[in-house]
Structure 1
Amino acid sequence: MAEGFNDDAEGAFFQPLSPPNELEPCPGPKDLQVVSLSSMEVDTELESPASKCSHALRARSSMPIVEFFRQNAQELRLNAETAQQCASRLAQELLFSTEDLYLLSDKESFMQLPLPMYVRRWLAEERHGRLCNPESLREAAEAAGDSSPPKRGRSSFSNMAESVPVEVTVQINSVTAINIKRILFDVDFTLMLDWQDPSVMGMTAKEIDQMTMTIFNPEVVIDNAVDNDQPISGGCNAPRPNRLVDGVCPDGQLKKTNRYRLSLTCNGLDLRAFPFDTQILPIRLKARNKSTLHGEEGPEAILVGPEGLYGDNKKHGLRRTGHTVKMLADRLADFKIQSLMGLRSELPDRWYEVRIIVERSPGHALRNVATPCLVILIFSFTIYAIPMSELGSRLENTATCLLAMMAFQGVVNEMLPPVSYETALGRYVTAVYIILMFHGVEHALFSTLTSKSDSVAPRDRPIDIFFGAVEFWDAQSDYLNKVEAVLVIAELVLILFIHVAYVLYLFWLRRRGKAKRLREAERPGVSLVDARGGFGTRNSARSSARVRTGTTSAATRSRSIGSGHTTPSGGAPTLLHSSRPKKGSG
């Protein structure tokens, strides 16, 4: 399995998802692998002839081609990546299992497969001994004394693996409201689950529907739902085949789809950059501990993203479509949906989180709070037109500006919940308070420093806070008038520079957050989709890659192994269709 997350200080805001209050050990890579029947170890020395034959039959049971290549990786000289690529090319020809390969039958068909030459030769030579032939398996089973028909529909996961990867894909239909005060948001989304169950290979849709209670059926709950976490009516709670070929499920891939309209909590709000903040609206999915199969304890579902358990982009998943946001999903007044991030645990377990990343449009807060505060600040400089000797008029006008600022501070408090830190807009309001306070102190100080006059009685003079250490200027001197003029001009220039620098800093914080998410999307188990198109992540950049086979269209060549979601385009028939005998034919 790919290497897990490595936390760093810069990416602390996007930490890998960890189950809250969970102390259960995470499954290892061996536990996560869906083991085929041929990988079950038995002690052949203690077996009876019938059990040995049964083991031989299991060793040749049908399995996904990618698992077949991995089991024979040493002979084929294939690593995990090249095995996935080879299986992907065969999937484009509708070859998903070893049974499909066996049906090619003749050597010429094997030599036409879109594989390296030595792999084609190995398959052509070993096809009779390695690949699955259903007819010969049944005949051998009858000869061994096991004439009972194979049990179909009984999930083999309980004997094969303790954990089953379940692929999670989410489509955001609409986000209608974000209540910052109550820390809630309303969302409408569609949840799609995909997994593979070898026990349903070759079964019709009706047979699968009849076996609903006996096959693996994962259950997922919305962990951060406020009241009800149930899907709306019209969904599908029973597994159904993702694709049928000749009326049967060829690859054992099942799926479920449900739609939800819920109010969810978003406790991780960070309002420090308000009103230039970017928020994360989480959808926390949790699979139930165990599924039951006819009252028996079944395997545990582990949730993975659209890239699958071992893949690194959506082409390697079962559905081959990543998380999506509908065109008209953004119905928010102050926010706009920026991107969608899927995040599984560092080691895959039953938790998965889909994060809707929204950016606030700062226009409302700037028009109704920041702009009036700026007007009050600029208006406070008109007080310097009042003579320095009229201290009462200056302080009265400054106090009026302070009272007006208090009203706008109340507006900011109404917009936000009680938080222990200061927001960007709150810092701006506080800075205006400090400047107005500085103006009031400056008026009093300059009036005091110019109060020297021999004709004024001591009791009519302001208090000497310097106790004679500083010599006051005479009221007839114009020195302090010039000093005050220089100070006012310097203060205006400084305030203009700070305003521009502060706004640029807030926009830089937003861009840094986008860059941080792009870096997070390169980690295993993280998928990122830009809601406005073209984020440039690996999921969008690599999805345009094409594998040439020479026999199918470009649209078909872009699809990879394990899905069965698609059918080939018109044109030349695939190898499987050209060799599989049609039903009803002689």
Structure 2
Amino acid sequence: MAGSCYDSEDAHLFQPLSPPEHAAFAQPSTKDLQVVSLSSISRDTNLESPRAPHSIPRSRSRSRTVPQSSMPIAQFFLQNAQELRLDSAMAEQCTARLAEELLFSTEDLYLLSEKENFMRLPLPMYVRRWLADERQGRLFNPEAVVEEVEESQGDGSYESNPARRGRSLSFNSDGEAAHVVEVTVQVNSVTAINIKRILFDVDFTLMLDWQDPSAMGLSVKEIEAMTSFNPEVVIDNAVDNDQPLAGGCSAPRPNRLVDGVCPDGHLKKTNRYRLSLTCNGLDLRAFPFDTQILPIRLKARKGTLKSTEKDASDVILVGPEGLNGHDKKHGLRRMGHTVKMQAERLADFKIQSLMGLRSELPDRWYEVRIIVERSPGHAVRNVAVPCLVILTFSFTIYAIPMSELGSRLENTATCLLAMMAFQGVVNEMLPPVSYETALGRYVTAVYIILMFHGVEHALFSTLTSKSDSIAPRDRPIDIFFGTVEYWDANSSYMHGVEAILVCAELVLILFIHVAYVLYLFWLRRKGKAKRLREAQRAGVSLVDARTGFGTRATQTRIPTGTTSAATRSRSIGSGHTTPSAGATLLQSSRQSKK
């Protein structure tokens, strides 16, 4: 973009469309409002520019009369001629100068966003200041009419709406420009999960992709030398060091080269990390049938240019599907989050899936969740099975005669002491939590059953203690104070009642065990179904670790750099010619909307 101001010495380069008339300032004529052809201007004025397209893109089909609508710059200047102090000839000259910079409509002017960009326009100083001050009120904001464009184009789907494709520049909640950076993560390995310390060790590769139209048509050395946007992403939940391994990319590099230059402005960075990360959101209620989420929380710093710190701008992190896409094929890299087949290096866990998640309103945060399922074999063999053995063994006590209460209670107490040892094993496996886990509830249930056995032994011995040959001091205490008639020691009634009670208890315990295990597996399947529903939201991608790649419904991996011809055409814009090195951000935005 030229940095010189408009000078009256260049006035002979432009031919006015109509004679200047002061009356035309308030009521412009139809001839004044026509769309000017840049090719005709170049032919009349001998302004041959290799960057200029054949014609200025036509304005929106829906007619508008307010200044906030998208209209040709010539029409906009004539509508505001009184405030700008421009006649028809000067308006045409300014329009032609902006056309050379690939600025054709009020929408293009709005997307300049920064005051510094307006002050570099080849216009008189007072016109530049007026445009910068009146940007919000006079120029056309394309973000405010996205819904309207979708309705006018049919079903509003992603493929049928070019306004939603290929945008690397968005706007944050304050209306300021923000760069969109796509995040793709490849999990290489998860080596350890320390439940006690709430940490896990992970090895992953972080890939960043974005579009910088100023890099179109430039070579690798030119891209390295130019002042370009360079996003910085930090790992927010890293324990100590969050720096990548040596050998990564600190500077942007083109995704692919055609004839030695970058054809579409697609830049990328790739770095590998080996870190210890915190996982504070552990939920151990279903232990040892629990499913845990191991998060990788990514936070983007303000993207800075190489020149000055004042050029900092906001960064929006999105997943492999892009800002408005719904699948990896709509992103720049066209490769979703992946999990290497040898990534599982865990003893008790298996990687079940990988989920990429951004907020409802995209911002500089992005989270990649590694979903791991615990293999319950270790806890079941070392805690649950021994507890079940102790519980089963406690029923052998009923083989001791009812009159030998001391032997029964001694054996029951031995079982209780053995259970205390296994409770300590459970506590060693888990961090101190305020709730009870599934295995903890099982151990507590065994405690209660053993306690019930002890009370049952004492109660049945007391109820069958009636005998005329035994002195009162040799009898057990009468806890019912004579209100209950005790059975004689020679009666067989209570023996039959105890036998029925023991058989019913065995059947009930067997049923509870089966139902409890099925319930824990149902909780695990419920969690999977919940994640599948969550993956239907915009900005959420879910990868099955068994396949190792894919997002949402698609399971076809497209390696980087092997896109089809149609895909390459979409990435370039119009698809017919490669944009020149002087193409600006505004031209790229307009080309992606064609």
User: Does the TM-score normalized on the shorter chain lie above 0.5?
Assistant: yes
Quick check: 1:466 aligned with 2:480?
Answer: yes
Which residue of structure 2 lines up, in the alignment, with residue 5 of structure 1?
none
**Taking structure 1 as reference, are residues 37 and 498 closer, same or farther at Cα in structure 2, changes over 3 Å only?**
farther
Q: Kindly indicate whether the alpha-carbon contact (under 8 Å) linking 2:569 and 2:575 is maintained by their aligned counterparts in 1.
A: no
Q: Secondary structure at the match of 2:181?
A: strand
Aligned match for 2:283, one of 257, 270, 274: 270
Q: State the shift of 1:449 in Å.
A: 0.2
Say if 1:377 and 1:436, in contact at 8 Å, map to a contact too.
Answer: yes
Alignment of 1:304-319 (within 5 A): 304-319=318-333
Q: Does the 8 Å CA contact 2:230/2:303 hold for their aligned counterparts? A: no
Runs (5+) with no aligned partner, structure 2 = 1-69, 109-141, 581-594
Change (3 A) 1:187 1:464: same
Q: Work out whether residues 157 and 216 of structure 1, in 8 Å CA contact, stay in contact via their aligned partners in 2.
A: no
Equivalent residue for 2:254?
A: 241
Q: How does 1:439-478 map to 2 (within 5 A)?
A: 439-478=453-492
User: 1:532 corresponds to which residue?
Assistant: 546
Larger Rg: 2
CA distance, structure 2, for counterparts of residue 469 and residue 534 of structure 1:
72
TM-aligned CA deviation for residue 315 of structure 1: 0.8
SS in 2 for 1:451: coil
Shift of 1:324: 0.4
Structure 1: how far apart are the matches of 2:71 and 2:275? 42
Distance in 2 (alpha carbons) for counterparts of 1:56 and 1:288 = 35
Please report how far the alpha carbon of residue 297 of structure 1 lies from its aligned counterpart in structure 2 after TM superposition.
Answer: 2.4
Of structures 1 and 2, the one with the larger relative CO (CA 8 A, separation 6+) is 1
Q: Deviations over 1:293-320 (max 9, x none)?
A: 4113232111001110011111111111
Matched residue, 2:440: 426
CA 507–76 in structure 1, closer or farther in 2 if over 3 Å, else same: closer
Does the 8 Å contact 1:314/1:543 carry over to 2?
Answer: no
Of residues 183, 186, 197 in structure 1, which corresponds to 2:201?
A: 186
Within 5 Å, which residues of 2 pair with 1:33-432? Answer: 45=81, 46=84, 48-49=90-91, 50-57=93-100, 58-59=102-103, 78=153, 81=156, 84-85=159-160, 162-211=177-226, 214-295=227-308, 296-432=310-446
Quote how far apart the aligned CAs of 1:360 are. Answer: 0.1
Q: Is the 8 A contact 1:38 1:59 kept in 2?
A: no
In structure 1, distance between residues paired with 2:547 and 2:427: 35
Match of 2:12 in 1: none
1:337–1:357 CA contact under 8 A, matched in 2:
yes
CA distance in 2, matches of 1:406, 1:298: 61
2:530 — aligned with what? 516
Alpha-carbon separation, structure 2, partners of 1:37 and 1:376: 84
> Residue deviations 1:535-571, cap 9 Å, x none?
9x9x34246599xxxxxxx97379587557xxxxxxx
3-state secondary structure, aligned to 2:470: coil
User: Structure 2: which amino acid aligns with 1:242?
Assistant: N
Between the aligned residues of both structures, percent identity stands at 72
Using the TM superposition, give the Cα deviation of residue 466 of structure 1 relative to its aligned residue in structure 2, in angstroms: 0.2
Structure 1 residue runs without a partner (length 5+): 1-35, 98-154, 547-553, 565-573, 582-586
How much has 1:59 moved relative to structure 2?
2.5
Letter in 1 for 2:195: I
Tell me the equivalent position of 1:115.
Answer: none
Q: 1:485 aligns with which of 474, 495, 499?
A: 499
| Cα pair 1:203 1:249 within 8 Å, conserved | yes
Mapped partners of 1:575, 1:59: distance in 2: 20
Contact 1:204 1:247 in 2 (8 A): yes
C-alpha separation between the residues in 1 aligned to 2:363 and 2:71?
A: 23
> Structure 1-normalised TM-score?
0.71
Aligned-partner Cα distance in 1 for 2:286–2:414: 29
Q: Amino acid of the residue matched to residue 184 of structure 2?
A: T
After superposition, where does 1:525-564 map in structure 2 within 5 Å? 525-533=539-547, 539-542=551-554, 556=564, 559=567, 563=571
Q: Cα RMSD over matched residues?
A: 3.8
Q: Figure out how many residues of one structure are paired with residues of the other and give that number.
A: 459
Distance 1:79 1:199, change over 3 A: farther
**Cα distance in structure 1, aligned partners of 2:183 and 2:71:** 26
